[in-house]
Amino acid sequence: METKASDVYRIAICDDEPLLAQRNEALTREILTEDGLVEGRDFALEVYTAPQALLERLRQEPDACQLVLLDVQIQEMNGLDVGRALLQYGAGCRLVYITAFRDYVFDSFETHPLQYLLKPVEKEKLAGVLRYDFQHNYRPGKVFLPAADKEMPVVLAELYYMESAQHKVALHLKDRVEWWNGSLRTLEHELAGKNFCRCHYSYMVNLVHVTEIVRYEARLDNGECVPVSKQRYAASIDQYIRFLRT
């Protein structure tokens, strides 16, 4: 399966202190990797120690990243001014301000930040911000499955569940069923971190469409039910609860 550039969760980190920028980069990479995402396939990180470089990048390509971790106390340019400039450019990214002072909280409201983190950034708090943003704001859109003569685009929001049968995978979509010549194991690996749960040896379900899991079945918002095996029941319940809490 090929992942298109538009399906990669892109995060920019801007801090004029290289050591702090590297630390926040390492924390971000560690958190996303622990959540099952693969760098280069599922997410990409860009580090800037000069705000002008970040501004130029997003001026030329407003949708170049989805999230910016932005230091407020930047010597060359105040981080809040960077946020205002990004709004003027029409950049489609969300902002997380990082600072050692709480006083900037009220000044930042006009730029509609996603969150405000105090230095030094705590891993647990950064993890909460990243997971919330990934689950609720970032929309990967599509995956592209290799087919015989062309790629098969699949809109993740329309994919309810997958079923392994006859050495193929049935993709149960909103209004149809598509068959793909591949394995459920391959899809499980490629869709890691995208709210899909391997609830059965032969089934994988999109948690976005699950209304409840009871009596060894996952009930979906379209009225269908997907089997949940006894061996995977506890793990499926745990993954579903974690999904609901994010």
Question: What is the SS3 assignment for the chain?
Answer: CECCHHHCEEEEEECCCHHHHHHHHHHHHHHHHHCCCCECCCEEEEEECCHHHHHHHHHHCCCCCCEEEEECCCCCCCHHHHHHHHHHHCCCCEEEEEECCCCHHHHCHHHCCCEEEECCCCHHHHHHHHHHHHHHCCCCCEEEEECCCCEEEEEHHHEEEEEEECCEEEEEECCCEEEECCCHHHHHHHCCCCCEEEEECCEEEEHHHEEEEECCEEEECCCCEEECCHHHHHHHHHHHHHHHHC
Average of pLDDT values for 76-98?
85
Sheet holding 168-173, edge to edge: 177-180, 168-173, 159-165, 203-206, 196-200
Least confident among 34-43, 108-117, 195-204: 108-117
Domain 148-245 has CATH 2.40.50.1020: yes
Residue 133: how many other CB atoms lie within 10 Å: 19
Each residue of 145-192: pLDDT tens digit? 877 666 777 888 889 999 999 889 999 998 899 999 989 998 898 788
Averaged pLDDT of the chain: 87
Whether the Cβ atoms of residue 39 and residue 33 lie closer than 8 Å to each other? yes
Average of pLDDT values for 126-145?
80
Residue range(s) in the chain whose domain bears CATH number 3.40.50.2300: 5-136
Domain 5-136 has CATH 3.40.50.11540: no
Q: What was the pLDDT predicted at 221?
A: 93
Instruction: Answer whether residue 105 shows pLDDT above 80.
Output: no
Q: What was the pLDDT predicted at 135?
A: 75
pLDDT band, very low/low/confident/very high, at 2 (cuts 50, 70, 90): very low
pLDDT band, very low/low/confident/very high, at 228 (cuts 50, 70, 90): very high
Residue range(s) in the chain whose domain bears CATH number 2.40.50.1020: 148-245
Q: What was the pLDDT predicted at 168?
A: 93
Instruction: Answer whether residue 3 shows pLDDT above 50.
Output: no
